[in-house]
Amino acid sequence: MIAIFIAITSCVSTRSTLKNVDDDAPNLVLSRENTFVITEYSTDKKYGYEADYPVNIFFQNTRNETVNQERFLNALAGPKGEKITFSKKESCCPFPTKRTDLGAGFLDVYELKWKGQKKPIKLYLNIYEKGILMVPVGLSLAKN
């Protein structure tokens, strides 16, 4: 356990490179379909697509990391409303955070696909920090 802690903390800078953390962001709301209610669309092409601009989906606690990611991803659709499928590809990009016992968090990289798509896209998701939840550029909201 000590070796893991040393390895993680030695790879983590003391300053976060995340650009869109907002501790004053409103709390996330769940819909009847158990997805996050999203009302805004990002105009920043980096939002979600680059490690320094992840989608911050902190929701009350992070004990079950995949439930929050699924709540976000299930709220999305392809650019023309296509149903998406997604899978977690990796965890990467350690950063300092006060929301874990180790003092470090990792981003999760998800691959999204839909019918008619030429190339899958990757989104960076962060379960440790808060931010304004938005639909990334090139995606839309799922119709329920």
- Taking only the tens place, the pLDDT of each residue in 31-58 is 888 899 999 999 999 999 999 999 999 8
pLDDT: which is higher, 121 or 31: 121
- The C-alpha atoms of residue 96 and residue 127 are separated, in whole angstroms, by 13
Q: What is the mean pLDDT of residues 70-97?
A: 95
Contacts of 74 (CB under 8 A, 6+ apart): 33, 34, 35, 142
- pLDDT of residue 109 exceeding 70, the answer is yes
pLDDT band at 65 (very low <50, low <70, confident <90, very high): confident
